[in-house]
């Protein structure tokens, strides 16, 4: 698939800069595949829209992983911790400005150990991560409450970005749905844009996942499964294929993919040229998603991490 198929024009004012309050006051575009019907709802109406689907969420929690540091020369540097390499303070990280840095350099509590290419480094961190929430670069407004970049159910720390489809849930809404849980720690594969001309040339590095056996038994036995977010989709489809309840997944879901365990998808509106948009197109159809995005723009939905949501049934 040509990467240009993942392009679309978005008015910049539709990029959500702050989350809505309360969480479930966001909007929900509902698309029913059986008849092509589109509905415009409030997210709090989600239980009324579903028809017995088992809801599955990703319970990862975001690490305060963006460290704003100073080089020994006094210049600014930024380290985004992606994932721990071991239990002894070694991390994989994105470091800027990568080309000016050298092995062995100290950036406050961080020591650069090995360049991994493409701005990635293996680093040694003294202590535990104690930085800022790693908000995406398209969000320019300061976040008043760091908890708003966490889901209310996230309790397994390890992500470098939030599984944003879950940000709309309140404890009350969650209680009404009784979801199953999986864990995928969001890393570089989820938020790195596609730079290659074709999706076949885009490489995934892998992200860590785990599913409790009891949770998988519930998921496997469900008549229909609703995945909350693209990271949940990748976890479910990985386990459905491999039978492995934990490990690393490099599963790249693109148009033509055969879904084995996901029957419905709840997701936010994604950036152009992203693997996330490719996954949504694989699930709903390329031209269908194009039309749904045109409708969302015409109806002034809010896009990206703090934006509104879309439900494909």
DSSP string, 27-44: EEEEEETTTTEEEEEEGG
Strands 66-70 and 76-84, bridge-based pairing? antiparallel
pLDDT band at residue 100 using 50, 70 and 90 as cut-offs: confident
pLDDT band at 74, cuts 50/70/90? confident
Structural element, H or E, at residue 6: none
**Mean pLDDT, the chain, whole residue set:** 96
Residue 105 reports pLDDT greater than 80: yes
Query: Could you give the residue ranges of the DSSP H alpha helices within 37-138?
Result: 46-49
Q: Residue 99: is its pLDDT beyond 90?
A: no
User: Where residue 73 falls among pLDDT bands split at 50, 70, 90?
Assistant: confident
Cα(125)–Cα(119) distance, integer angstroms: 17
Task: Tell me if the pTM is above 0.85.
Answer: yes
List Cβ neighbours of 63 (8 Å cut-off, separation of 6 or more).
81, 129, 134, 157, 158, 159, 160
Whether a cis peptide bond, with omega within 30° of 0, leads into 22 is yes
Output the six-digit token pair for 104.
């062995």
**What would the two tokens of residue 255 be?**
């148009």
Domains of the chain, earliest start first: 3-62+134-312 (3.40.1780.10), 66-125 (2.40.10.240)
Q: What is the pLDDT of residues 253-279, one digit of tens each?
A: 999 999 999 999 999 999 999 999 999
Indicate the SS3 state at residue 70.
Answer: strand
| Residues 41, 143, 125, 189, CA torsion sign | positive
What's the pLDDT score for residue 193?
86
Is the pLDDT assigned to residue 78 strictly greater than 90?
yes
Confidence (pLDDT) at 205? 85
Q: Note whether 56 and 219 are within 8 A (CB).
A: yes
Q: Do the beta carbons of residue 164 and residue 135 sit within 8 Å?
A: no
């Amino acid at each position: 698939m040509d990467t240009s198929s993942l392009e679309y024009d978005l008015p910049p004012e539709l990029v959500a800069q702050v989350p809505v309050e309360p969480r479930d006051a966001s909007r929900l575009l509902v698309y029913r595949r059986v008849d092509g019907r589109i509905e415009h709802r409030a997210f709090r109406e989600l239980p009324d829209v579903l028809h017995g689907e088992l809801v599955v969420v990703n319970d990862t929690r975001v690490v305060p992983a963006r460290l704003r540091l100073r080089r020994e020369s006094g210049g600014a540097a930024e380290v985004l911790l992606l994932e721990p390499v071991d239990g002894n303070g070694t991390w994989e990280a994105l470091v800027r400005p990568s080309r000016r840095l050298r092995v062995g350099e100290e950036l406050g509590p961080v020591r650069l150990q090995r360049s991994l290419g493409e701005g990635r480094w293996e680093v040694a961190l003294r202590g535990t991560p104690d930085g800022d929430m790693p908000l995406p670069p398209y969000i320019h407004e300061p976040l008043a409450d760091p908890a708003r970049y966490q889901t209310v159910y996230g309790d397994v720390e390890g992500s470098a970005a939030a599984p944003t489809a879950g940000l709309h849930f309140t404890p009350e809404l969650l209680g009404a749905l009784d979801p199953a849980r999986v864990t995928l720690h969001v890393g570089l594969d989820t938020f790195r844009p596609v730079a290659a001309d074709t999706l076949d040339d885009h490489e995934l590095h892998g992200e860590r996942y785990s599913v409790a056996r009891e949770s998988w038994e519930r998921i496997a036995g469900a008549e229909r499964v609703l995945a909350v977010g693209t990271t949940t989709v990748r976890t479910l489809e990985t386990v459905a294929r491999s039978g492995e309840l934990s490990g690393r997944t490099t599963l790249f879901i693109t148009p033509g993919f055969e879904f084995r365990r996901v029957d419905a998808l709840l997701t936010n509106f994604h950036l152009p040229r992203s693997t996330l948009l490719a996954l949504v197109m694989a699930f709903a159809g390329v031209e269908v998603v194009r039309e749904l995005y045109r409708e969302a723009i015409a109806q002034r939905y809010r896009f990206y991490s703090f934006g509104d949501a879309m439900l494909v049934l």
